[in-house]
Amino acid sequence: MNFPEIHTNFWDGVIAVPSIVLLTQLFKVFPIPRKYFPTIATVLGYLISIFISHRKDLWAGIFMGGFYGSAAIGLYASLKTAWLTYQKKQENQAKNGQR
């Protein structure tokens, strides 16, 4: 079995992953349960990878599409966690400052 030759570059990660995060956020306009958003991000990752980034190699597109979707999910989760932690820290400082 020959493994696909995957040519990826810095711009795939810089453009594809944030695009997937933004497109996934646009889906929040529709009444879709939140539990399906990681699946939506994964599907978008596959679509971008197969049809845009790796048009000429289906196996490379499938392989990298999983990475794009997973990276977008991780990016969103880390940003959300950092934001919630920051908000909680600000609330705790406000409570302690009032005493």
Query: What digits encode the pLDDT tens for the residues 7-22?
Result: 667 777 789 999 999 9
Supply the pLDDT for residue 6: 64
Residue 9 main-chain phi, psi, to 5 deg: -140, 180
CA-closest candidate to residue 69, choices 11, 7, 8, 13:
13
The DSSP letter of residue 30 is S
Tokens of residue 95, six digits: 């409570």
> What's the pLDDT tens digit per position in 37-51?
999 999 999 999 999
CA-closest candidate to residue 62, choices 74, 78, 77, 50:
50
- pLDDT of 99 higher than 60: no
Contact in structure between 48 and 16 (CB atoms under 8 Å): yes
Supply the pLDDT for residue 25: 95
| H-only helix segments in the chain | 10-11, 17-26, 37-48, 58-98
> What's the pLDDT tens digit per position in 48-85?
999 998 888 899 899 899 999 999 999 999 999 999 99
Q: What is the mean pLDDT of the chain?
A: 90
State whether residue 34 is helix, strand or coil.
Answer: helix
